Structure 1
């Protein structure tokens, strides 16, 4: 029962987080340096509120619930580690969007945000990779060297710890 609740929370938070990672760059790209102060202030409030009160908490909940799911289901497979790398990229993209939101608010209309197309392409591609890895669960060979799996019976190259 707890597993179903955690999975539902994870999926709901992911939907909100991913929707925000798509919507925020689109909203930011609507900014024009020549627009009126009232329109600029409205856009800035929308993006700031959306990033700080909706998208970031959803990201935190999605990652926390996902981490809990890994341990509840004991999914320690290579595809999961590949998925975690892709989620790390989503976190980096999330930070980039936040950086643009901050630049918009600090420069008071003087900052023209970059085009949303490249960012959206990377965000959507990363989301597709995450979804593919989760649904397909592909067999990924273990790429760790064998010597990492076998005890070497050696001492660490450190002096004894003083008492």
Structure 2
């Protein structure tokens, strides 16, 4: 069961990461001076790729990754560092959606952004995630402030303690 979930997680993650690399390149190709037919074709390609391929792959990858965390019981510091980087990929994914909507709604008034800053951020996050997952480094508590790891003798903001 775990092997099947991991296989589907890696497959959907591959599609999502390919979209995070390919879509900024496609979005940078939009130009206000393009012919209407070329602009519409490129616009529909980016829109459908984002909505029908990349976003479902992202949702599936995150859902299966979450399931794997609980199936394997991987509650270690490197996993939490990985989850922070996955959050960065989610933010980049949301930015791509924002740009896709802007291009569709502002014909002639949109100047495409350069792709390289977002590609660099996505590729850096993907590389670090890969290193964390394959290397499983031992991260100590020195990365975080000491007050995060110790009780502060403060009352909880609720009357009941959840069980």
TM-score normalised per structure 2:
0.89
Deviation at 1:30, TM superposition (A): 1.0
Asked whether 1:147 is paired with 2:147, we answer no
Q: Deviations over 1:130-161 (max 9, x none)?
A: 1111011111012454533x9x5x7547679x
Match of 1:14 in 2: 13
Asked whether 1:100 is paired with 2:103, we answer no
Q: Tell me, which stretches of 5 or more residues in structure 2 are unaligned?
A: none
Asked whether 1:73 is paired with 2:76, we answer no
Q: CA RMSD in A?
A: 1.9
1:158/1:101 Cα in 2 relative to 1: closer, same or farther (>3 Å)? closer
Deviation at 1:120, TM superposition (A): 0.5
| Kept after mapping to 1: 8 A contact 2:32/2:107 | no
1:157/1:42 Cα in 2 relative to 1: closer, same or farther (>3 Å)? closer
Q: In structure 2, how many angstroms separate the alpha carbons of the residues matched to 1:48 and 1:73?
A: 36
Deviation at 1:32, TM superposition (A): 1.4
Deviation at 1:31, TM superposition (A): 1.2
Q: Which runs of 4+ in 1 moved over 4 A?
A: 154-160
1:157/1:115 Cα in 2 relative to 1: closer, same or farther (>3 Å)? closer
Q: In structure 1, how many angstroms separate the alpha carbons of the residues matched to 2:158 and 2:50?
A: 47
Match of 1:33 in 2: 32
| Kept after mapping to 2: 8 A contact 1:40/1:109 | no
Deviation at 1:113, TM superposition (A): 1.4
Question: Number of residues paired by the alignment?
Answer: 156
Q: In structure 2, how many angstroms separate the alpha carbons of the residues matched to 1:99 and 1:85?
A: 21
* 1:147 counterpart SS class: coil
Q: Whose radius of gyration is greater, 1 or 2? A: 1
| Kept after mapping to 2: 8 A contact 1:7/1:65 | yes
